[in-house]
A and B are shown apart, each in its own frame.
Chain A
């Protein structure tokens, strides 16, 4: 290979990195057990990463990873049924999660940590599953996705005691994966309003809906950066799931991961500089982190 070709390749790589399409540092592997994982969530004191993992062939458990010691423990040691999708209020006084409490049935549970109270929302009898939830950082409300009995799926809001259920979307489509912004004033979510899953945002009361992505593949699972200026999300492009980041108004969409396997479930570290996500590498599913540098 001559010097000209080497130089051209080097320049191409340099421009690619400078353009912000990928991060310069390789992703860091955070877990190593290879089990299926999803639904990452940091505690607001930045000390722990909570996620759900296929612990046995028949059980998904919430686990906590201490970022200082790397110790991994069960979040609910005695849980005997599937638990997923945990989220915390900013003051860490409340957390909510989804519990598989029956045959093809899940409920929302809220734990009031200080009071020791547990609130439960049964979405309905028979086959009925809550899809995904988010806790308002102010600790006053919960929003989750649930079908509205006609084939579409809405976002619903309750107070933190899971009372006063109210639909905050009213679409003929599938609205899913809601995420409160750090201020609690906005929600990002995925919806099929455009014909396939794209990312949208709206005011927390369900008004002022704006489409943020418009791409023929799946765009899903939005995650706000801690300062609310950016949103990470998963996009299925050319047959592979990758993590993207965009500004909170939908502009400057950039691909963050380039792994040949599935990258999904992005979650911002509270420092705002790193994204943790689930990645399938060589057949193993683990949590990785990567820096998301400035342009």
Chain B
């Protein structure tokens, strides 16, 4: 017998559960769960899908959702505060739409992580574990869902909406995908630009097939015809798993429709804003409507806020007080507000957990470059749907937003809560040999 580990967590109903699991060779690591097991897990699930919105590069918490108007100027910065719908709770003036919608979500102000660098904190944020030389990379939240749930209706179970795998200019995040489970559990990458044009990079792996941007159904059909002719001429077997997944997706009517933003009204598309992030959130909504269980939307591919050939992440070591009011906060404020309104109006928050966060916060004290650096000791996350009680702030930071004064919420807790809501509770996780640590965030429900 092999001891897989000790799992401490709470289930969604708040009942503390301690599961000590032992398993033998009867559960090889690569085994998929049976249909019955998935069905049982689904009974316990309070969400069909999780939408994990990743503000890559790490937004400043003190300039957005956790302002400290009474702190000195070298901490609080130049931005004013505005009231929210929660009595006594104020946000930065940079996010007025989200301040007016606090009745739709809960805010955690006591997140912490354990790595002050982007790739490391990214891996923590995606897996709950660290990366480094000789360290086995754990599968990401979406990969766990992917393995547990399997493919349904031709749609991949773990979709990442991003220009690419999250990275900084130096390296990729190790923990974005299947980790030591292999690339078969990596996310299925879909790109969506500011006007809602969709690209599927996996298709480009097939020699001679260049789907480019798929906007209209007619255009898509033309591309598919090309692919089919190519497939006839070549062996389907030469394709790797992602290419096959892409082809399967594109030959499935429901899947095709879920990727077609032209099926939305003009007003809906306008509400999200003509930005890659906005249209990606709209696409994410369509994917959870099609019951994709885990959709990750990344703000950007690169963390860097302003560097050549990168895509304007939240890493504002410079220009924090320019980029936030001029660009980043208006985009976030519009797009996330539109998503919350849209999800709410369609009743999707009943069956979807929406989580929005970055990998850490930013230095509460303004740095020597009149901006803000990395801050792992305190940051925020936004939670909506799936039974999360909205209109509340969970946890609190100290007077300078430097550290929590309430129970710190760690990435493992974020992961446990997301997975638990999808019915992948401590027992299921034990069977998969993942996430032995982490406390369910019961305060949210």
Spell out A's residues near B (CB within 8 Å): 34-36, 38, 54, 57-59, 80-82, 100-106, 127-129, 131-132, 147, 149-153, 173-174, 176, 192, 195-197, 216-218, 220, 236, 238-240, 262, 264, 280, 282-285
Contact = CB atoms under 8 A, between A and B. Distances in A.
A264 B93 contact: no
B327 interface: yes
B99 A239 contact: yes
B80 A104 contact: no
Interface in B150-182: 163, 169
Interface in B382-423: none
Contacts of B311: 57-58
B271 interface: yes
Nearest to B368: A149
Which 10 A-B residue pairings sit nearest by Cβ, starting from the closest? A239-B96, A147-B370, A283-B270, A129-B318, A282-B270, A81-B308, A283-B273, A192-B78, A153-B370, A34-B274
B139 interface: no
Given A100-B307, A128-B369, A283 B99 contact: no
Interface string B288-311: 000000000000000011111111
B275 interface: yes
A282 B78 CA distance: 29
B330 A100 contact: no
A151 B370 contact: yes
B74 interface: yes
A58 B309 contact: yes
A57 B278 CA distance: 13
B217 interface: no
Given A34-B195, A104-B304, A174-B78, A58 B274 contact: no
B375 to A, nearest CB: 15
Nearest to A237: B93
Nearest to A197: B78
B252 interface: no
Given A149-B368, A174-B78, A197-B78, A106 B93 contact: no
Contacts, number: 122
A264 B326 contact: yes
B185 interface: no
Contact of B368 (A35, A150, A264, A282): A150
Interface residues of B, number: 52
Interface string B93-113: 100110110000000000000
Contacts of A82: 306, 308
B318 A283 contact: no
A240 B271 CA distance: 16
Interface string B240-282: 0000000000000000000000000001011111111010000
Contacts of A149: 368-369
B96 A102 contact: no
A195 B369 CA distance: 19
Given A58-B310, A283-B269, A283-B273, A104 B370 contact: no
Contact of A100 (B273, B275, B308, B327): B308
A236 B274 contact: no
B322 interface: yes
B38 interface: no
A238 B306 CA distance: 29
Given A35-B194, A80-B308, A238-B96, 15 more contacts: A57-B311, A101-B308, A102-B307, A127-B318, A129-B319, A132-B322, A147-B369, A151-B367, A151-B370, A176-B322, A192-B73, A196-B79, A217-B93, A283-B273, A283-B278
B317 A104 contact: yes
Contacts of B195: 34
Contacts of A81: 308-309
Contacts of A240: 96
B370 A152 contact: yes
A36 to B, nearest CB: 7
B287 to A, nearest CB: 20
Interface in B74-90: 74, 78-80, 82
Given A216-B80, A217-B80, A239 B97 contact: yes
B116 interface: no
Residue in A104, A131, A192 with the greatest tally of chain B CB atoms within 10 Å: A104
Contact of B79 (A54, A151, A218): A218
Interface in B343-385: 365-371
A105 B369 CA distance: 11
Contacts of B304: 103-104
B114 interface: no
Nearest to A38: B326
Nearest to B193: A57
Contacts of B371: 147
A232 B366 CA distance: 29
A100 B306 contact: yes
Interface in B303-338: 304-311, 315, 317-319, 321-322, 325-327, 330, 334
Contacts of B96: 238-240
Contacts of A58: 309-311
B366 A284 contact: no
A153 to B, nearest CB: 4
Given A176-B322, A283-B269, A106 B334 contact: no
Contacts of A216: 80
B212 to A, nearest CB: 14
A169 B97 CA distance: 36
A239 to B, nearest CB: 3
Contacts of A106: 306
B274 A283 contact: yes
Contacts of A132: 322
A35 B276 CA distance: 11
A105 B311 CA distance: 15
Contacts of A151: 74, 365-368, 370
Interface in B6-57: none
Nearest to B319: A129
Contacts of A147: 368-371
21 contacts: A34-B194, A34-B195, A57-B276, A59-B309, A82-B306, A82-B308, A103-B304, A104-B318, A105-B307, A128-B318, A128-B369, A129-B319, A131-B319, A147-B368, A151-B74, A174-B321, A176-B321, A192-B78, A218-B79, A282-B270, A285-B274
A127 B317 contact: yes
A61 B15 CA distance: 56
A29 B99 CA distance: 30
Contacts of A239: 82, 93, 96-97, 99-100
